[in-house]
Amino acid sequence: MKKLYEARRSRPKKECYKSVIGAGSNVQLVPSLPHFAIILGMDKTPENEEKPAAIPSSRGKQFFYILKQNWLTIFYVSLLYFVASLPLLFFVGLSYIHYSASLEGGSSTGEQLFSLILLTIGISLPCFLFLSIGAAGAYGYFGETLQHNDAGFSSFWQSIKKLWLPFLLLYFAEWFFFAFTLFNYGFYLYVDFSAPAKLAFLIISCILLFLFALAKPYFILQILFFKTPFISLVRNALLLPFTRLFHSLSTLFVSNLFYVLFLFWPMGYLFILVVLYIIFGGAVSILFSLLFNFSSLEKNLPKEQLGRLYHVGLNDSLGEEESIH
C-alpha cells in the first residue's frame, strides 16, 4: 500500500502552458478538446473492461453524438435556460412591439419614443442579470459534458454555485454594450444635436457591440476550461476571433440563429418558433458555440502541448487520488 501511495503521489500534476496569442500569460489548462475521446475520459480503458464506442472525429458528428447521448438532460437544461431568458425576451419584445406601433401610428413625439428606449434599457438590466444565472448553469453543464460525457442534471445547479459571479459580470458587460448601442440609436434619431457626432457615436457603439459578440464565446471558454489572469483573459478573447475570422462569424451566426429568426418570423406563427426554442433552441446554441469555437483555441496551441494535455483530464480516479493528499 505504501508503494502504491508513493506511485500515486509521483504522478504528474497539472502543468501551466502559455497561449500563443497570450504570450507571457500563465494559463493553466484543464481538459482540452483536441480529440473527443480525451474529453470524455475514454482514452484509457483497462483490458478487462469493455471499451467504449468510437467517438466521432469531426465537430459536426460530435455535436449530434452529444445530442443523441444526452437528449433528455439537454431538454431539461434548455427548458431552464428558457425560463431564465423569458423576462428579457418578454420585456424587450414588448418594447419593440410598442415602439413599432408608435412609429406606425405617428401619434408619439420623438421625446416620448426616446423615453421608451431609455425605459427599455433600464428594464433590461435585471433581465440580463437574471439570464446570467441560467447561462452559468447551462454553460457549466455543457462544460462538464464535454469533459466527461456523463454530466448529470445536478451539474446545472452546481455550475450556478460555482460560476454565477463571472457570468454575472460577463452579462453585465453585455448589457452595457447593448444599452450603449440602444441609447445612441435613440440619441441619433430623437435628440437635437450635431448629426456627424451622433452618427459617429452610433457607429462606434455598434462596432463595440459586434466585437463583444465575437469575443463572448472565448470569454466563456476560458472561464470554463482555463484559469487565466483577467488581463490575459480579455486579451485572448479579443484576439482569438480574428485568428479564424470567417469561422468565428459563421459560428456566431448559427449559434444565434433563433434570435435572428425572432426578428423576421411571422407573428402569426411565432408560437411554433417559441416551442422549438423551448425544446432545444437555447441549449443547442450553447453546445454548438462551445464545441465549434474551441477549435480556434486548438489552432493557437502548439501540437506538442496538446499532446501533453491528455493526463490532465478531470475524471473520478484523478479526483480520488488528489483527495488522498
Contact 32, 38 (CB under 8 A): yes
Residue 177 included in any domain:
yes
CA distance 39 to 52: 13
* Predicted pLDDT of residue 106: 66
Q: Is residue 267 part of a domain?
A: yes
Mean pLDDT of the residues in the chain: 75
Determine the pLDDT at residue 150.
64
| Angstrom distance (rounded) from CA 167 to CA 42 | 30
Residue 28, pLDDT score = 37
- Contacting residues for 325 by C-beta, under 8 A, at least 6 apart: 9
Terminal C-alpha separation, the chain: 15
Q: Is the separation of the CB atoms in 131 and 88 below 8 Å?
A: yes
Q: Is residue 25 part of a domain?
A: no
Residue from 95, 115, 106 nearest 187 by CA: 115
In a domain, 13, yes or no: no
Does residue 99 lie within any of the structural domains? Answer: yes
Q: Which residues pair with 29 in a beta bridge?
A: 226
The pLDDT-based confidence of 279 (bands split at 50, 70, 90) is: confident
pTM above 0.95, yes or no: no
Cα 210 to Cα 253: distance, rounded to the nearest angstrom: 12
Q: In the chain, how many domains are there? A: 1
How far is Cα 201 from Cα 118, in angstroms, rounded to an integer? 17
Looking at 60-69, 80-89, 238-247, 296-305, which range is the least confident one?
A: 296-305
User: Does residue 179 lie within any of the structural domains?
Assistant: yes
User: Domain range for residue 115?
Assistant: 36-44+54-324
Q: Is residue 77 part of a domain?
A: yes
252 in a structural domain: yes
